[in-house]
Amino acid sequence: MTRIAFIADIHHGRDVMTKKSSLGLPLLARFADFVRQERPDIVIDLGDRISDENRERDLLLERQVAEAFKAIDVPVFHLNGNHDRDFLEVADNEQILGQSLGHQIVDLGEWQVILWRADTHIHRLETHSTFRLADGDLEWLAAQMKALLKPTVIATHVPLSGQSQTSNYYFENNPHIARYPETAEIQAVVRAAKVPVICISGHVHWNTLTFVDGIPHVTLQSLTETFTTMPEAAEAWGVLDLGDMVRWSAFGRQRFGFEVDAASTAQRWPQPHGNFHEMRRKAMAAAAL
Ligand SMILES: [Fe+2]
C-alpha cells in the first residue's frame, strides 16, 4: 500500500477575509505530528503557503513556512500556488524550499505521482484576471500521459476538472480564476491515460470530488479557511491510500472521504452525446426533403 499525505493552502500570514492565516504555523505543527503517526511515504504541499502582502514580507513568510516543514520527517514535495507567485518568482520559492519546482515524476513503486507544476501566476489584465499556462507546460504533460505505464496521481495547485463553483465564497463570482483557460485542452491530454489516474488539487478552498472521463478529481480544503466551518478554521489535510482500491480521507473540522476501484479510473467514458434538440431538428429537416 502506498500512502501520500496532502496539505493545501496553508496561507500563513495575517488573518484576511475568511482565512485564519495566523493559525497557519501552529496547524502545520499539528500536521507534522499527524505525519509522524500515520507514516505516509511522502507529503505533498499543494501550494499557497502564504497570504501575500509584498515581496519583502512574502519572502519572510515563505521562510517561516519552510522552517516549519522541517518538522516533517518524510520527503516533502512542494507546488507553488498563485499567492506564492504574486510577489515572488519560482526561483525565490526554490531557493527558500531547497528544491527544484519544475515538473516532476515521483516513483513510489506500484504507483507514481506527477507533480504538474504548471504556472500559477495570476495575470491581472485590464478587463479580467487569468491564469495562463507557460510555454511547454501542456506539452510536458501530454508527453507523460501518452507514455504512462503505471497508476498515477496528478497533483496540481489549480483544479483540472473545471467544476461548478456555485456557493464557493471566492469563486462563485470569479469562476474563471478557479481553473486554467486551457482546461479543455488539459482534459483532452489527461484522458489519453490508459492506466488508473486520480487528480488532486488545492486552490478552491473546499472539499470536493468530481469525475471527468472516469477520472476522480479531488480538491482539498485549505488548512486555515473558515467559510465551510464558520467561525473556526477547517484544519484540513488529506491522506490518499493507493492500492487496488483508492481511498481518500480528508481530516479536520469537515471530515470527507471516498473509495473508488482503481481499475475503474482507467476506463475512459465516451464522447458525450450531441445536443438532443439540434439532432432532432436536423433529422426532421432531412425527413422533409
Ligand atoms: Fe489559496
The pLDDT of 228-253, averaged and rounded, is 98
The pLDDT of 142-160, averaged and rounded, is 97
The pLDDT of 41-61, averaged and rounded, is 98
167 Cα: distance to centroid of ligand 1 (angstroms): 16
d(CA 67, CA 271): 47
- Which pLDDT belongs to residue 147? 93
d(CA 225, CA 17): 9
As residues whose CB is below 5 A from the ion ligand 1, the structure lists 9, 48
82 Cα: distance to centroid of ligand 1 (angstroms): 7
Q: What is the mean pLDDT of the chain?
A: 97
19 Cα: distance to centroid of ligand 1 (angstroms): 9
Taking the whole predicted model, whether its pTM rises above 0.75 is answered as yes
289 pLDDT higher than 90: no
137 Cα: distance to centroid of ligand 1 (angstroms): 21
282 Cα: distance to centroid of ligand 1 (angstroms): 47
DSSP 81: -
Place of cell 531547497: 98
Domains and CATH numbers, the chain: 2-287 (3.60.21.10)
From residue 58, alpha-carbon distances to 69, 84, 176 in Å are 17, 8, 25
Of all residues in the chain, the percent with pLDDT exceeding 70 is 100
d(CA 233, CA 227): 8
Q: What are 247-266's pLDDT values in tens digits?
A: 999 999 999 999 999 999 99
204 Cα: distance to centroid of ligand 1 (angstroms): 7
- Cβ pair 152, 111 in contact under 8 A: yes
Give the SS3 label for residue 246. Answer: strand
87 Cα: distance to centroid of ligand 1 (angstroms): 15
The pLDDT of 138-160, averaged and rounded, is 97
* Residue 241 grid cell: 491510500
Q: Work out the widest C-alpha separation in the chain, in whole angstroms.
A: 75
- Which pLDDT belongs to residue 13? 98
268 Cα: distance to centroid of ligand 1 (angstroms): 31
- Cβ pair 238, 254 in contact under 8 A: no
205 Cα: distance to centroid of ligand 1 (angstroms): 6
- Which pLDDT belongs to residue 24? 98
From residue 288, alpha-carbon distances to 127, 274, 281, 282, 284 in Å are 47, 21, 11, 10, 6
* Residue 227 grid cell: 467559510
194 Cα: distance to centroid of ligand 1 (angstroms): 32
Q: What are 56-94's pLDDT values in tens digits?
A: 999 999 999 999 999 999 999 999 999 999 999 999 999
Q: What are 109-134's pLDDT values in tens digits?
A: 999 999 999 999 999 999 999 999 99
d(CA 204, CA 196): 24
Place of cell 473508488: 260
193 Cα: distance to centroid of ligand 1 (angstroms): 28
